[in-house]
Structure 1
């Protein structure tokens, strides 16, 4: 399979900028909130730190997959490149679901990072851009739910 190194380079550079924004925000929130102990309700300091950690980790892993794919392509290792590109195109774990845990209003850095990665939605599999729009539109943190039974019922009733 032929892969587009130009596209992978563009995606990698954007992911790197997103990672810088999220890592800076994570550091700021850690300094602001301290350890993650205590309240674990949606939007609490502990959940906000957990959410920014998920976002940062997911983008970091996505960037590693893009870099690995680019390396394999450059080396002419086609079978490995095909597999690595497939991994790179998977929606990053924790993005945008980490936002569901975070207190509102979201910082400009977090919103900017998510908008940048949303602009890459055609690169990733699935309705990635829509998921980011939904997460950004939520007026408050939505996870973890106060009523687990209602949440589980809502998840079962959700259209595929």
Structure 2
């Protein structure tokens, strides 16, 4: 039921529809928050987007603190940057879900390039790596999304043998 409510809130924001005054946002406890990730379905992404667009909740801070890797970064080189962004993506998406996305939404896939999640990933990366450009982070995300289907097939093959 919560998912339907958040989906309705997301579409209401898109179409500038006023919410009914009797509805109140549902408070989420920490244990329930952890069960959301990694995202496994398209509806989960829509739900996450709507929650990130909701400015009055503390969900965004919880989200950022959960997906941000906690380890110390030894050097601020490109290999660490790539590892950092890939770690964020692995915490967010399963490979099977990521295989339904592409940067621009070609070939019947869903578009990931315009999602709020991508901006949040860049903001987190920029806080750790001060000189990183948005284009470079986007390139890492594009590459990770592009090869998600192959990684899923490889893991499936390894698990079956």
TM over 0.5: no
Normalising by structure 2, what TM-score? 0.33
Normalising by structure 1, what TM-score? 0.33
Q: Which has the higher contact order (CA 8 A, sep 6+)?
A: 1
